[in-house]
Amino acid sequence: MPTRAPAIEVAGLEKSYKDLKVLKGVDLTVDRGSVFALLGSNGAGKTTIVRILATLLKPDAGTATVNEFDVVSQAAHVRESISLTGQFAAVDEILSGRENLVMIAKLRRVPDPGDVADDLLKRFDLADAGGRRVGTYSGGMRRRLDIAMSLIGDPPVIFLDEPTTGLDPEARLEVWEEIRKLAGGGTTVLLTTQYLDEAEKLADRIAILHQGTIIVTGTLAELRQLLPPAQAELVERQPTLEEIFLAIVGKEKR
């Protein structure tokens, strides 16, 4: 197989909201078919990066390409290549779960929207609730529907902004399973998360965003080696990602 360009390439990305400089030169590369986890404290700018990659926000400086398309100058091509599950569920409350899925399937022009919807309802354990208004769903059901809506049309790159926040343990495992399946099928997944065990279990590579830049990036094994030896002794055997994260980010916190 010929080596292909990375699915996502970001270089020198900067973004400010008025006086607040959120991104101060972010660089990252995500290989095709991999799961990439973006970690960072609240307000670090994870959602900002995802929104720029999803063409919803324009960067102030730097470049970003998704599926080899520039997010600013080739935004329409980028949108053909991606699917976004934002931090807050983007579902239509007045439609039923099934109608939400059919709507997205029609917009993505997939054949047999009804079958696609029924299949996803089953996969996300929503078959019984499929005919009910989404307004009556619990937070976790809404989230599952939201993720299901993003899978329609099999885009090569999927962004998941805190996909499992608010899910019960069982639903979390189901979502993890779906993410693994996606990656297994060649889809590139960029996810942000507050749960470090999630990154640890799912991600091929992990990046930590802190004070506007990516301060470390690598596989879990590589990140483990970053831990200062003194701390490594304190932590028995394999340090968890949580310990690594706190060691790296916590120290620098103002």
Site string for another protein, 5-24 (x = CB under 8 A): --------------------
Axis-axis angle for helices 113-123, 97-107 (nearest 10): 130
State which of residues 25, 43, 131, 186 lies at the interface with ligand ATP (CB under 6 A). 43
* Nearest distance from C-beta of residue 213 to another protein, angstroms: 25
Site string for ligand ATP, 59-98 (x = CB under 6 A): ----------------------------x-----------
CA distances 188 to 8, 33, 131, 159, 242, Å, are 9, 4, 31, 9, 24
108 forms part of the interface with another protein (CB under 8 A):
yes
Selection from 82, 59, 81 nearest residue 72 by Cα: 59
Inter-residue contact 63 to 82 (CB < 8 Å) = no
Q: Kind of pairing, strands 205-210 and 188-192?
A: unpaired
State which of residues 45, 113, 130, 239 lies at the interface with ligand ATP (CB under 6 A). 45
State which of residues 1, 2, 20, 76 lies at the interface with another protein (CB under 8 A). 76
State which of residues 35, 46, 155, 199 lies at the interface with ligand ATP (CB under 6 A). 46
Task: Note the Cα 157 to chain centre separation in Å.
Answer: 10
* Nearest distance from C-beta of residue 102 to another protein, angstroms: 9
54 forms part of the interface with another protein (CB under 8 A):
yes
Of 33 and 86, the one with the shorter C-beta distance to another protein is 86
47 forms part of the interface with Mg ion (CB under 5 A):
yes
Q: SS3 for 170-210, per residue? A: HHHHHHHHHHHHHHHCCCEEEEECCCHHHHHHHCCEEEEEE
- Label residue 130 left, alpha or beta by phi (over 0 means left) and psi (-120 to 50 means alpha): alpha
State which of residues 7, 37, 48, 151 lies at the interface with ligand ATP (CB under 6 A). 48
Task: Looking at residues 57 to 96 of the shown chain, list those that interact with Mg ion (rule: CB under 5 A).
Answer: 87
Residue 92: contacted member of ligand ATP, another protein, Mg ion, none (CB under 5 to 8 Å, by partner type):
another protein
Residue 94: contacted member of another protein, Mg ion, ligand ATP, none (CB under 5 to 8 Å, by partner type):
another protein
- Measured in degrees and rounded to the nearest 5, phi and psi for residue 213 equal -135, 165
Continuous H helices in the chain: 46-53, 75-81, 97-107, 113-123, 139-151, 169-184, 196-202, 220-226, 229-234, 241-245, 251-252
Residue 44: contacted member of ligand ATP, another protein, Mg ion, none (CB under 5 to 8 Å, by partner type):
ligand ATP
CA 203/CA 198 separation, integer angstroms: 8
Residues that bind another protein (CB under 8 A): 51, 54-56, 58, 76, 79-80, 82-84, 86, 88-95, 99, 103-104, 106-109, 133, 149
Residues that bind ligand ATP (CB under 6 A): 17, 20, 22, 40, 42-48, 87
